[in-house]
Amino acid sequence: MGQSIMRVGPNASFRRALAETIDCAQQVVLIASFLFSDDLLADALIRATERGVRVYALTASENRVAALLREEDEFGKRMVKEHKALLNRLAGQIQLRSAEHFHAKFLVADPMGSARGWISTANFNKALEQSVELGVALSPESARTLAKWFSWAFWKEAERELASKGRLAKVAPPPAEPARPSTSDIVVTARGVTSLRSAALRLIKGARSELFVSSYGFGADHALVRAIAERAQRGVEVTVFTRPRPAVAEAVAVLASAGVTVLAHDKLHAKAIWTESAAIVLTANLSAEGMDHGFEVGVLLGESGQEELRCTFVDWWNQFPWKYAQGMKRTEHLGEICLVDEGLRSGIRQVVETREIRLSPVLAGCALELAGAPQPTLKAPRGDGSYPREIRFEWEVLPPRLPKNAKELKRVVERTVPGKDGKPSSIQDRQSYTPRAYALSSKKYVVLEDDSQTRAARALAKELGGVVVVR
């Protein structure tokens, strides 16, 4: 991007810059990464050892890596597998130590000479090409300070070291007590040290008009997240960049409720904070694990770095594919969405215009009262991965039919006929109703044969206390 900020991307310029720094080292290389599986950097480290350069490394412990396996997606699990394979390859060639709380990513070469250094938000693996990350070139003075913190962690905080392929040994006490480095533009989280947290909090609280924050992880109840929300509530224009996944859902809801604009990218892993007066790039997530208890590093940017970081955030604003929408109605969007409480692994859905649902037929109580038929339960099926703006239910209303075993009812009609003696005589005939009527048990039915009988059928049903049916 510029003299100090580099963006990670498929052209791999930051990755090549790291390898070049190792290849130019004459005395010492110090490398730290939570996960490490990049072959280009590994080859450069091996070449360094072959020309007599001493290589020291810090990485995550086996327990922490095992825990990551349970949490990560397929990409993350593959990175863990490659991390273990690369450590075996480097066994016996570099001095590597680990601890459960190691999470920092950086590289320093020749701190006692022409010092060069980088802080990376990316792990030294495929993230150097495939993730949304940042790298920061350090001044020689900053690189030397970072080397001192590497030494501190190596001697005071490491728990195990790679003794041979596949074998870790407990770290022995240091031969002498190292001096704790002083604070400069390099700020850290270490045991008993929270200068990174303090610097980040100071930046956020100092924002007066505009604040950008990028982080892979957020703790909903962390002081930094509360401070971001407080800035938004006081009228500061706040934008947060993150990755859409369940782990950040609660914090994102808190921030959005305060008025923060939340944008997301499915590859974002960068951590940085920018205000109109200061900026920082860091390796820690905005959570207790990174800000209070881990081993993390950050660098306060100079004026040019601040401008480069702001340009990066503006570009991300225009390019990121996801925007958090709290309480949005489905009528307000059409197309792809991601459910924030599920994330990109299983939360991708589609909002579609209309869904038509065909329901089972409904039987009317009377053939002449179809509009009065009971309405069926209107419940849309779930699980097809889409949400319609409008649901259109369709069902057929069927008229009742004459029961199979119903017997015809006939009315009694008296008529006069001549008797044998010539006198008139009354007799009773049983005649069919028009339209015809039937009975089954105590229920009576009037059969509607065609539309011309509608009025007569209605009157007869009322007379008999029955219902109008069809055959």
Dist. CA 238–CA 213, nearest whole Å: 8
- The CATH number of 1-181, from 2.40.10.10, 1.10.10.10, 3.30.870.10, 3.90.10.10, is 3.30.870.10
Q: What is the pLDDT of residue 66?
A: 61
Q: What is the pLDDT of residue 83?
A: 73
pTM for the predicted model, two decimal places:
0.81
Q: Measured on CA atoms in the order 46, 52, 58, 64, is the torsion positive or negative?
A: positive
Closest CA to 31 of 112, 126, 113, 110: 110
Query: How is domain 183-326 classified at the architecture level of CATH?
Result: 2-Layer Sandwich (3.30)
Res. 69: pLDDT tops 60: no
Tell me the per-residue pLDDT of 149-162, one tens digit each, with 9 for 90 and over: 999 999 999 998 88
Dist. CA 56–CA 48, nearest whole Å: 11
- When pLDDT is averaged across residues 127-150 and rounded to a whole number, the result is 95
Q: Please give the distance of CA 419 from its chain centroid, rounded to a whole number.
A: 98
Contact 445, 467 (CB under 8 A): yes
Dist. CA 59–CA 97, nearest whole Å: 7
Res. 65: pLDDT tops 80: no
> What's the mean per-residue pLDDT of the chain?
91
Q: What is the pLDDT of residue 63?
A: 66
Tell me the per-residue pLDDT of 21-50, one tens digit each, with 9 for 90 and over: 999 999 999 999 998 888 899 999 999 999
Res. 120: pLDDT tops 90: yes
- The confidence band for 73, taking pLDDT boundaries of 50, 70 and 90, is low
Tell me the per-residue pLDDT of 441-456, one tens digit each, with 9 for 90 and over: 999 999 999 989 999 9
Q: Where are the domains positioned within the chain?
A: 1-181, 183-326, 347-398, 407-469
Altogether, the residues listed in the chain come to a count of 471
The larger pLDDT score, comparing residue 12 to residue 438, is at 438
Work out the percent of the chain whose per-residue pLDDT is above 70: 95
